[in-house]
Amino acid sequence: MIAFFYLFSFSALAFNQLSLTEELYQEVKSLKEKFPNQKAKAKPFYDDDLKKIIIEDKKNRVSNDFKTNSFFKARTSFWIDVYSRFSSEQVLIHNKKDLSILYDIQDYSFIKSDNLVLKSYVQNDYATENVRSFKKALQNVDNEELHQIRIQTGQRGSILKSFKRSIPYLSFLEHYLGYFEIPEEILALAIVESNFQTDSVSRTGATGLWQIMSLTAKAIMPLNDSIDSRLNPYISTIAAFHLLKQNYRILKRWDLAVTAYHSGTRHLLQAIREIKGSHEVSLENIFKYYESDYHGFASRNYYTEFLALAYLIDYKDLIWGIKKNHLGKNAIKFYVSKCPLKPFLFFRKYGEHLSKFNQHLLDRTQRYQPGLLLVSNKELPKSKYYLLSDEQLRRNFPINYQKFIKNSKCQ
């Protein structure tokens, strides 16, 4: 999972002395001398009136499955601020236990440098210094609250880039969202998980647009030394939609299905068993009445990060001026090869552009056996390639698509 929050808990001095080379340390020192800490106040990119329209869904754009309620509203509101109202040059000092408590919002745009890494070091140092000063000023606050103080960097620019990265895939995504009967807001998961980067790999090995772990991937899509379907945004999307629908069939609610995508269904089913009978089954009531180690900061915020992004998807025209244009018909098709093939010869024959649709093929020179799953935006000959129907895609995980050529011959 791509983390959208950055916690600055290190000491500025220790950070400089232990983590930087001498050359970089001197560059940081020089930049700090040139731009001393100003403790400037940050201003949001849009006003509270527009924020109210979004968080209260005044234009009724958000599907009923994801309407926020009073329990999730403060956290969702906080992440809307982070993702759309403040940039990476701005930081929010807040209470990590109660996200409605916002102590200060600071602006570091006064630090001028073309070297973004160098600039980030200086910003991190200043943020740490400011939090330290802020804590000292809170003489009448109990120790527990001091431990809850956290810094969050704005992510407006990052989210805008994610939306732009999604544009080439939208006609494909919206076609299969409809076919799988999945709410459109689910697209926010791809931003939460990978920032819509198709080649993203996490520290734990989760890979691709939908950040699927290898153990899960091997059960649902082709994955071996020469194929990694997680790197193919089209194949991995079909697989992710299967996982989400499976979660929904098991858990009966989309708030639980989304949460299970992050943490799995097992502990949610345990939670349901414990609260069922005394409370209505919902994610809100699981958080309220079920004690679990899964309810740390990241887990408690996963769903509201998703909700915030879902709302921003539905209101991106008002925030960034991104209008929902007519996307046209989906041109992406899935095929299973009936014949052995080498990717470089396949691309040479049918178009080198097809390589961008088949990033899951890790070795262009290898001779792959029949049953290879391929993606194309052009028609391939029926004699050599079996065209999968939408119904076959919906009823079967990608790992099982090769069964459709069982009685086929290479011609």
Torsion angle (degrees, nearest 10) of CA 183, 185, 189, 192: -170
Question: pLDDT at position 337, please?
Answer: 97
């499976």: which residue's tokens? 246
- What is the average pLDDT value for the chain, to the nearest integer? 90
Question: What strand order describes the sheet that includes 149-153?
Answer: 40-41, 102-107, 90-95, 149-153
| Sequence spans of domains, the chain | 12-159, 163-320, 333-405
From 254, 212, 252, select the one nearest 236 (Cα to Cα): 212
Question: pLDDT at position 19, please?
Answer: 59
Question: pLDDT at position 145, please?
Answer: 78
Q: CA geometry: angle at 15 spanning 14 and 17, to 5°?
A: 60
Secondary structure tally for the chain: helices H, strands E? 18, 7
Question: pLDDT at position 324, please?
Answer: 72
CB 368 within 8 A of CB 343: yes
From 20, 10, 16, select the one nearest 151 (Cα to Cα): 10
The CA–CA distances, whole Å, from 132 to 18, 88, 291 equal: 19, 20, 32
Q: Residue 337: which residues within 8 A CB-CB, separation 6 or more?
A: 368, 370, 371, 372, 374, 384, 385, 386, 405
CB 344 within 8 A of CB 364: yes
Q: Which class would CATH give 163-320?
A: mainly alpha
**Which ranges constitute the DSSP H helices of 212-296?**
214-220, 233-251, 254-263, 266-275, 283-289
As averages over each run of 10 residues, the pLDDT of the chain (411 residues) reads 39 45 87 91 95 97 95 96 97 92 93 92 91 79 80 96 94 95 96 96 96 96 97 98 97 96 91 90 91 68 96 95 76 96 97 97 97 97 97 97 93 83
The Cα 301–Cα 131 span in angstroms is 22
Q: Tell me the two tokens of residue 133.
A: 């000063």
Give the tens place of pLDDT for each residue, 231-275.
999 999 999 999 999 999 999 999 999 999 998 999 899 999 999
Q: Tell me the two tokens of residue 228.
A: 């990694």
The Cα 327–Cα 192 span in angstroms is 23
